[in-house]
Amino acid sequence: MMRIGPAFGGGTAAFVFTIVNLFGSGVAAAAEQVPLEAFGRLPSLENVVISPDGTKIAFVRTNGDDRSLVVAQLSKHEILGRLSAGDKKLRRVEWIDDDNLLATVSSTSRPPFGFIGPTQEWYQLVVFNVDKRKADPLSFTISGRETFHVVTGDTAVRDVSGHSMLFAPGYCVTDRTVPCLFSFSFPDRRVRLIDESSEPNTDWLMDESGHIAAQLVYHDTKKSWEVKTRRDGRWTLAASGTAAIDTPDLLGFSADGSALIVRFFENGDPVWKPLSLKDSTWGPPLEKGAAFGRVIEDRKTGRIIGGIHGIVSNEYVFFDNELQAHWNAILRAFPGERVEMESHSDDYSRVVLKVFGPRDGFIYALYDWYTHQATKLGEVYEGVTAPAAVKSISYPAADGLPIPAFLTLPRGAAEKDLPLIVLPHGGPAAADTPDFDWWAQALVSRGYAVLQPNFRGSILDSNFLEAGFGEWGRKMQTDLSDGVRYLARQGVIDPKRVCIVGASYGGYAALAGVTIESGVYRCAVSVAGLSDLKRFRKWTIENESGLSQRYWDRFIGISDKNDPAVAAVSPIEHVGSVSVPVLLVHGRDDTVVPYEQSDLIFSALKRAGKSVEMVTMKHEDHWLSHGDTRLQMLQATVAFLKANNPPD
Give tens-digit pLDDT for 237-268: 988 999 999 999 999 999 999 999 999 888 77
- Mean pLDDT value of segment 368-390: 94
Is the per-residue pLDDT at 9 higher than 90? no
The CATH architecture to which 390-644 belongs is 3-Layer(aba) Sandwich (3.40)
- Mean pLDDT value of segment 384-391: 95
- Mean pLDDT value of segment 150-156: 95
Residue 29 has a pLDDT of 42
Domain boundaries along the sequence of the chain = 390-644
C-alpha–C-alpha distance, residues 355 and 422, integer Å:
25
Confidence of residue 342 (pLDDT cuts 50, 70, 90): very high
Q: What is the DSSP letter of 389?
A: P
H/E segment holding residue 565: helix 564-568
Report yes or no: 102 and 166 within 8 Å, Cβ to Cβ: yes
Note the pTM of the prediction, 2 decimals.
Answer: 0.92
Tell me the angle at which helices 546-556 and 533-543 cross, rounded to the nearest 10 degrees: 160
Is the per-residue pLDDT at 28 higher than 60? no
Confidence of residue 370 (pLDDT cuts 50, 70, 90): very high
Buried b (16+ CB within 10 A) or exposed e, 379-416: bbbbbbbebbebeebebebeeeeebbbbbbbbeeeeee
C-alpha–C-alpha distance, residues 400 and 397, integer Å:
5
Report yes or no: 522 and 495 within 8 Å, Cβ to Cβ: no
Tell me the angle at which helices 505-515 and 475-489 cross, rounded to the nearest 10 degrees: 70
Confidence of residue 480 (pLDDT cuts 50, 70, 90): very high
The identity of residue 5, as a single letter, is G
C-alpha–C-alpha distance, residues 467 and 166, integer Å:
41
Is the per-residue pLDDT at 610 higher than 50? yes
SS3 of 103-170: the string is: EEEEEEECCCCCCCCCCEEEEEEEEEECCCCEEEECCCCECCEEECCCECCCCEEEEECCEEEEEEEE
Report yes or no: 377 and 74 within 8 Å, Cβ to Cβ: no
C-alpha–C-alpha distance, residues 527 and 525, integer Å:
7
E-state strands within 150-254: 156-160, 163-173, 177-185, 191-196, 201-206, 212-219, 224-231, 234-242, 249-253
- Mean pLDDT value of segment 85-100: 90
Q: Is 276 exposed, middle or buried (0-12, 13-18, 19+ CB in 10 A)?
A: middle
- Mean pLDDT value of segment 138-163: 92
Give tens-digit pLDDT for 533-566: 999 999 988 888 888 889 999 999 988 778 888 9
Is the per-residue pLDDT at 141 higher than 70? yes
Q: How are beta strands 373-379 and 612-617 bridged, if at all?
A: unpaired
Q: Is 334 exposed, middle or buried (0-12, 13-18, 19+ CB in 10 A)?
A: buried
